[in-house]
A and B are shown apart, each in its own frame.
With several copies, the nearest count.
Chain A
Amino acid sequence: MNTSVTLAGITFKNPVTTASGTFGSGMEYGEYVDLSRLGAVTTKGVSNVPWPGNPTPRIAETYGGMLNAIGLQNPGVDVFINRDIPFLRKYDTKVIVNVVGKTTEEYCEVVERLACQDVDMLEINISCPNVKEGGIAFGQDPRCVFEITSELKKRAKQPIIMKLSPNVADIGEMARAAEAGGADALSLINTLTGMKIDIHRRAFLLANKTGGLSGPAVKPVAVRMVYQAANAVKLPIIGMGGIASAEDALEFIMAGASMVAVGTANFINPTATLEVVEGIEAYMGQYGIEDINDLIGCVK
C-alpha cells in the first residue's frame, strides 16, 4: 500500500501534516505523537522579528468550532532557526515553515533567511485575519496574491505553498493568481473571520473583536473551496479546515487535496494527527486502495 505523495518534487511518507499555529513547532505535541509518523510538521507562522501577538482573551469557543485571535505571536526567525529547526530535524518527517509578514519586504526577509536552512517547503500565510496589516489583506486581492507570490518565488530556495484565505468571493480566482505568480502548491483554508459577543457583559469575547473561525464547523466550506481550487489550477493542494478524523481527511483528498492538515482537532484530541494517518491506511485496506494517489480528486 502506498501512502506517500509528492508535491512540488518533495515526497512525504503520508499525506498528513499539521495546520500552522495549532501545533507550535511540534515540541508540545511531540510528547503525544511520534512526529516521525507524520508526513510533515507545519510550524507556527514566523516573522522577521519577534511578534508579541494580540492582547487576551485570544480564544473563544463557538458551536462546533472556535475563534482565535493569537495575532501571530512568534519568537522571530532567528530563534526559530536556532531552536525549532534543529528540534524538528531530529525526526524523520518533512518540515514546512509557515511565513508571515506585514509587508512584502518582511515576507521576503524571512524567506531569504530560510533559504539556506534545512527546511523542505515554505508556506506563505497571506490569509491571517488577526493582524491589521499584511495577512489577510494580501490574500483577498488577486493582484496582491500574484505579486507577492512572484516576489517570494524569486527568493525562495524551497518550493512555496501559498496559503489562501476563505474570506473571498471566488477562491478559484485567488488560486489562479497564485499559480500565475509561480506558486508550487496551495494550502487552504485559513480561518473564516468571525465574532462572538458576551451578551451579559455586553462586550466582545475577544480582545481583538474579531477572530478566525476554525474546527469542524467550517469543514463544508473548506471542502468546497478545496474542490473549487483543485478545479481551477494544476497545483497540488494541502487541504484543511475542521479535519478531526480520517473520514474528514478523505473528504478533502477526494475533493482534490494531495495532502491534508490537522489543526483545531489537536486541541480536542492530542493524538488526532496519528489517528488520521492510521485511519487513512485502514480505509485503503478496507477498500483495497493500493495507492493514495488514486483517491486524490476522485470525486468530480
Chain B
Amino acid sequence: MSVAMKRKTVITENVEIAKDIYSMWLNAPDISREARPGQFVSLYCRDRSKLLPRPISICEINKEQGKIRLVYRIAGEGTREFAGMDAAEDMEAMGPLGNGFTLEGKKALLIGGGIGIPPMLELAKQLSCEKQIVLGYRDITFLEKEFEAYGKVYISTEDGSRGTKGNVIDAIREESLDADIIFACGPTPMLRGVKAYATEHKIKAQLSLEERMACGIGACLGCICKTKEVDHHSNVKNKRICKDGPVFYAEEVEL
C-alpha cells in the first residue's frame, strides 16, 4: 500500500441531497485506487484559521473514473466551507486513511445511523453476501434509495415519520432481523446499542468509531478509544481510531 499523501483533488460535483447534507464527488485517482469501504479521507479547509483536517468517510469509490464520493453534514464551520464549494474547485485531501471494514460473513446486517450511513453504501456494494440494511435517521432521510439496489432496506426515524419510530435497534427488533455479521457506523450511543444487541445474539460485529483527530495518521494519540486488552502499539488499553480503526470488532473496544 502506498502512502496516503496530502494531495490536491478536484471537486466534480457538490450538491445538497437533504437539508444540510451534501454529496461531493472528488476526482482523486490516487485515493480511489487504494480506497476500501470504511476508510476515510482528511479534508483541509481553505480558510487557514481552521487548521485541523476534517475526517470524512468514503461513501463510494469509482475506480474506473478515479473518483470518490463523500456525503457529509454541515456540522460546523469547516463543513460549511465545504458546502459552499463548487465543481472544478480544488480540495486538499489526504487518504485513504484507516483500516476499513473486513469483508466477511454470509448474512450481513449493515447498520448506519445519521451521518454514519454514507460509509455503508460502498460496503453494501462490495459485500457479496446476503444483506439487510438498517438506516436510522432523526427525521429527514437521505441516500436510502441508493441502498435499495444492494439489499432490503429498513428505516427508523426518531419522529416516526418514516419506517419504525425509534432507533435502529428498535427497527431490528421490530423486524426480528438476524445475521452472522454486523457492520455498523453511527453515533456512540447507537454503537453501544448495536454492541449490546450483537453480544446478546452472539453476532460478530464490526463498528466504525469517531473521535476528534489532529494528525489522522496515528502519531498524535489524539483519537484513541479504550480497548479491552493492552494494545500492542500503545502498551496501554488505547487504540488509535485513525490508524488502528476506525473499524473495530465490538468485543475489542469499550464504548
Contact = CB atoms under 8 A, between A and B. Distances in A.
A266 interface: yes
Contacts of B213: 59
A56 interface: yes
Interface string B33-75: 0000000000010001111110000000000000000000000
B51 to A, nearest CB: 5
A73 B215 contact: no
B52 A73 contact: no
A64 interface: yes
A57 B51 contact: no
A28 B233 CA distance: 12
Interface stretch (A3-11, A19-27, A148-156): A19-27
A23 B218 CA distance: 9
Contacts of B211: 56-57
A31 interface: yes
A51 B236 contact: yes
B34 to A, nearest CB: 13
A67 B16 CA distance: 32
Interface in A34-69: 44, 50-53, 56-61, 63-66, 68
Interface in A202-253: 215-216
B234 interface: yes
A253 B29 CA distance: 41
Interface stretch (A106-114, A180-188, A267-275): A267-275
A87 interface: no
A50 B225 CA distance: 16
A62 to B, nearest CB: 9
Contacts of A268: 44, 51-53
A53 B5 contact: no
Nearest to A268: B51
Contacts of A279: none
Contacts of B138: none
A299 interface: no
B233 to A, nearest CB: 8
Nearest to A72: B221
A267 B53 contact: yes
Contacts of A197: none
Interface string B112-150: 000000000000000000000000000000000000000
B212 A59 contact: yes
Contacts, number: 108
Nearest to A271: B6
B176 interface: no
Given A60-B212, A63-B49, A216-B51, A270 B223 contact: no
B162 interface: no
Given A28-B243, A52-B237, A79-B235, A21 B220 contact: yes
Given A51-B236, A216-B49, A267-B215, A56 B224 contact: yes
Contacts of A59: 52, 212-214, 220, 222-223
Nearest to A55: B226
Interface residues of A, number: 40
A79 B220 CA distance: 18
B214 A68 contact: yes
A79 to B, nearest CB: 5
B224 A269 contact: no
A17 interface: no
B11 interface: no
Contacts of B217: 28-29, 31, 270
Contacts of B48: 63-64
A29 to B, nearest CB: 6
A61 B50 CA distance: 7
A100 to B, nearest CB: 13
B6 to A, nearest CB: 6
Contacts of B238: 52-53, 73
Contact of B219 (A23, A56, A65, A269): A23
Contacts of A52: 236-238
B220 A267 contact: yes
B3 interface: yes
Contact of B221 (A32, A65, A66, A73): A73
B93 to A, nearest CB: 13
7 contacts: A44-B221, A50-B235, A56-B211, A59-B52, A70-B222, A266-B219, A270-B217
Given A53-B224, A57-B212, A68-B222, 16 more contacts: A22-B219, A23-B219, A24-B218, A24-B221, A27-B219, A56-B224, A58-B212, A59-B220, A61-B50, A61-B51, A66-B214, A73-B236, A73-B238, A266-B215, A268-B52, A270-B5
